[in-house]
């Protein structure tokens, strides 16, 4: 009997539709090789969903995601929907909403340097050599999900202590949320180089002081074999580009993880290389770490590798196809070793005939599965 998987596709906006097509191309090549069927159910999220339905996360999209074996998302957002009006819908609400709906509290962002891309990084090759770290980002708590409000000073009488508008966002964490992400980080570290760096701002924030306490309690009780270090987030931002190869697993709260992963992506040469898996206790979602790149959308030049490596993570974590996942990684490595580059990862030595577009890069990878 042929295995058949139902994959929910969420192309979103900007370069989203261009790169997800290449993820699907690679997944189809995997299906052909392993005799596995993939059925795709495409749904709306983000700006395109606002245009069609007035909301960034229609109920049908949530249903399609929950009914699938895994979700493949590209990216949402763009200038068309940018607004500072708190009453208007924003594409990013769709992304935050689907993470919450599916309970995706654990975001894995692997930062690995492909040897041949050492020259594409803005850091010196000897600094980026051997970089292999995993950012474990808490994904459904913290500042992105806390209560927020803007109070308009309609009569000029002043709000929040002074004349003018007043706004706030709140950063909250429960012990439970910290404990479950910390356990994930320690478990992952045990399968890697057994080192966890816990990143916080405990010299200022109360949530961070509790974060540190909980992480240490879990460590001392159940994971004393794993090395644990604490690092303040500002120092981490600096150390990541100073000594990136020293990091193994980096565990941190939602916003710190968002910011640090974009920074870490640059170590690999481009944000277009950084995949991610968003995991919970049910259906998981796989997405590049980058956004919808409106500055290059519609030109066929976006790098689809982050999306393709997100397919690799889907095969590994949701579909229990580790050999196929290895095939995807090997195929990407082979294409890069053969010298092919999208514009974002080319360097001064890349010959013009090796610079390829989104579609060609996807085809080159799919051919090597």
Ligand X SMILES: CC(C)CC(=O)C(=O)O
Among residues 177, 258, 312, 327, the one that binds ligand X under rule CB under 6 A: 258
41 binds ligand X (CB under 6 A): no
Determine if residue 258 is labeled as part of a ligand binding site.
Answer: yes
- DSSP 8-state code for residue 368: T
Residue 203's CB: how many other CB atoms inside 10 A? 9
CB 258, min distance to Mg ion, A: 4
Helix (H) and strand (E) counts in the chain: 12, 12
Cα distances from 187 to residues 231, 251, 356, in angstroms, run: 20, 12, 39
Determine if residue 110 is labeled as part of a ligand binding site.
Answer: no
Instruction: Compute and round to an integer the Cα radius of gyration of the chain.
Output: 21
102 binds ligand NAI (CB under 6 A): no
Q: Judge contact between 14 and 293, C-beta under 8 A.
A: yes
Active site residue 234: yes
Interacting span for ligand NAI (CB under 6 A) from 154-162, 163-171, 211-219, 291-299: 291-299
Of 201, 286, 327, 346, the active-site residue reads 201
Among residues 281, 295, 326, 337, the one that binds ligand NAI under rule CB under 6 A: 295
Determine if residue 341 is labeled as part of a ligand binding site.
Answer: no
Residues whose CB falls within 8 Å of the CB of residue 152, separated by 6 or more in sequence, listed in order: 165
Rounded to whole angstroms, the Cα distance separating 362 from 222 reads: 43
Interacting span for ligand NAI (CB under 6 A) from 52-60, 244-252, 295-303, 320-328: 295-303
CB 55, min distance to ligand X, A: 16
Nearer CB in complex with ligand X: 253/258: 258
Between CA 147 and CA 158, with CA 153 as vertex, the angle to 5 degrees is 100
Determine if residue 234 is labeled as part of a ligand binding site.
Answer: yes
Among residues 248, 258, 287, 312, the one that binds Mg ion under rule CB under 5 A: 258
x-or-dash string of contact with ligand NAI, 62-101, rule CB under 6 A: -------------xxxx-------------x--x------
3-state SS, 230-280, equals EEEHHHHHHHHHHCHHHCCEEEECHHHHHHHHHHHHHHCCCHHHCCCEEEC
295 binds, among ligand NAI, Mg ion, ligand X, none (CB under 5 to 8 A by kind): ligand NAI
96 binds ligand X (CB under 6 A): yes
Rounded to whole angstroms, the Cα distance separating 82 from 340 reads: 35
Q: Judge contact between 368 and 326, C-beta under 8 A.
A: no
263 binds ligand X (CB under 6 A): no
- Active-site positions? 144, 201, 234, 258, 262
User: Which residues make up the interface to ligand X (CB under 6 A)?
Assistant: 92, 95-96, 258, 289
Binding-site annotation: residue ranges: 99, 109, 137, 234, 258, 262, 291-303
């Amino acid at each position: 009997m042929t295995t058949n998987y139902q994959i929910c596709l969420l192309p979103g906006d900007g370069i989203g539709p261009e790169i997800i097509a290449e993820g699907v191309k690679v997944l189809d090549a995997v299906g052909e090789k392993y005799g596995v069927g993939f059925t795709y159910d495409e749904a709306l999220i983000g700006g395109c969903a606002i245009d069609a339905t007035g909301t960034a996360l229609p109920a049908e999209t949530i249903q399609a995601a929950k009914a699938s074996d895994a979700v493949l998302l590209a990216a949402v957002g763009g200038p068309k929907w940018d607004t500072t009006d708190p009453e208007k819908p924003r594409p990013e609400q769709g992304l935050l909403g689907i993470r919450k709906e599916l309970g995706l509290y654990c975001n894995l962002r692997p930062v690995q340097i492909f040897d041949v891309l050492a020259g594409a990084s803005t850091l010196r090759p000897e600094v980026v050599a051997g970089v292999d770290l995993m950012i474990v980002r808490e994904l459904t708590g913290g500042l992105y999900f806390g209560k927020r409000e803007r109070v308009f000073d309609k009569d000029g009488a002043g709000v929040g202590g002074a004349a003018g508008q007043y706004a706030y966002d709140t950063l909250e964490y429960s012990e439970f949320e910290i404990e479950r992400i910390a356990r994930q980080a320690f478990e992952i570290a045990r399968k890697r180089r057994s080192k966890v760096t816990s990143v916080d701002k405990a010299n200022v924030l109360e949530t961070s002081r509790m974060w540190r306490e909980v992480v240490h309690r879990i460590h001392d009780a159940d994971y004393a074999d794993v090395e644990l270090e604490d690092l303040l987030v500002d120092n981490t931002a600096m150390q990541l580009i100073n000594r990136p190869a020293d990091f193994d697993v980096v565990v941190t709260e939602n916003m710190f993880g968002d910011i640090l992963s974009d920074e870490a992506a640059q170590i690999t040469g481009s944000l277009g290389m950084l995949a991610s898996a968003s995991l919970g206790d049910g259906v998981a979602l796989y997405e590049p770490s980058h956004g919808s790149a409106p500055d290059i959308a519609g030109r066929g030049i976006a790098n689809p590798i982050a999306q393709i490596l997100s397919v690799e993570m889907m095969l590994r974590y949701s579909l229990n196809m580790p050999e196929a996942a290895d095939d995807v990684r090997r195929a990407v490595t082979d294409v890069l070793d053969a010298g092919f580059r999208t514009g974002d990862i080319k360097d001064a030595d890349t010959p013009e005939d090796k610079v390829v577009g989104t579609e060609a890069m996807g085809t080159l990878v799919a051919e090597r599965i």
